[in-house]
Amino acid sequence: DPNDHLQYMRLALDQAQESPPKPTNFCVGALLVDADTGTILERGYTLECEGNTHAEQCCLIKFAKAHGLPEERVGEVLPADTVIYTTMEPCNKRSVGNIPCVDRLIRTKGPDGRLRIKKVYLGVKEPEKFVGANEGIAKLQQHGIECIHVPGLEERILQVATAGHET
Ligand SMILES: Nc1nc(=O)c(N)c(NC[C@H](O)[C@H](O)[C@H](O)COP(=O)(O)O)[nH]1
Ligand SMILES: [Zn+2]
């Protein structure tokens, strides 16, 4: 029910607040949840894992690592009905050498070839500050991943996301 979504998004925002502010990106938080049981599988925030990592990417890295796998094989161990809550819509364009999170989410397939991440709950769309319009939502939906906006925390999410930006 909507209150559950808001509760999970609040926890994702708690993660975003852990992210070290930077002028060149946003502080974002994410939560991986098993939709069948409501269990929180993993949490993450921007730059939590080594390298120029995104919040969604950190959730996948950490969950895979807990199962002794590299991030690109996380689909093999995610529950069949996994969802991700992210305070900001997944990126569709990264600075050089990084795979966008949209592509990371789309490739989370199980051995049966079926998607493991079925829904993306997002707190805000990405402000067009770094990469222009983010076409990520359209691409996710084209691949059968439903994107749902969870209203109510937009102001706080953006305040936290832009903490490192000069005012
Ligand atoms: N959904 C999302 N999760 C994150 O953890 C994060 N940092 C962003 N931020 C989007 C922003 O557009 C990019 O972070 C900048 O464009 C810089 O790109 P890099 O991160 O250096 O590849 N977006
Ligand atoms: Zn990303």
Give tens-digit pLDDT for 50-79.
Answer: 999 999 999 999 999 999 999 999 999 999
Distance 113 CA to ligand 2 centre (A): 23
Is the beta carbon of 19 within 6 A of some atom in ligand 1?
Answer: no
Q: What is the CA radius of gyration of the chain?
A: 14
Around ion ligand 2, residues with a beta carbon closer than 5 Å are: 54, 91, 101
Contact between 80 and 37 under an 8 Å Cβ cutoff? The reply is no
Distance 112 CA to ligand 2 centre (A): 26
What pLDDT score does 131 carry? 77
CA 55 to chain centre: 6
Residue position matching structure tokens 């102001």: 155
Strand partners, 29: 45
Is the beta carbon of 131 within 6 A of some atom in ligand 1?
Answer: yes
Residues 15-27 have a mean pLDDT of: 95
Contact between 83 and 113 under an 8 Å Cβ cutoff? The reply is no
Q: For the chain, what is the total number of helices (H) and then of strands (E)?
A: 5, 5
Mutation probe of ligand 1 site: the residue of 31, 45, 54, 139 with most atoms within 8 A of C-beta: 54
Residues 2-29 have a mean pLDDT of: 95
Is the beta carbon of 163 within 6 A of some atom in ligand 1?
Answer: no
Contact between 134 and 147 under an 8 Å Cβ cutoff? The reply is no
Largest CA distance in the chain: 49
Phi and psi (nearest 5°) for 41? -85, -35
What pLDDT score does 96 carry? 83
Q: What is the mean pLDDT of the chain?
A: 95
Is the beta carbon of 7 within 6 A of some atom in ligand 1?
Answer: no
**Bridge-based pairing state of the strands 40-45 and 29-34:** antiparallel
Contact between 57 and 74 under an 8 Å Cβ cutoff? The reply is no
Strand partners, 146: 119
Give Cβ neighbours of residue 132 (< 8 Å, ≥ 6 apart): none
Atom index in ligand 1 nearest the CA of residue 130 equals: 16
Confidence band of 123 (pLDDT split at 50, 70, 90): very high
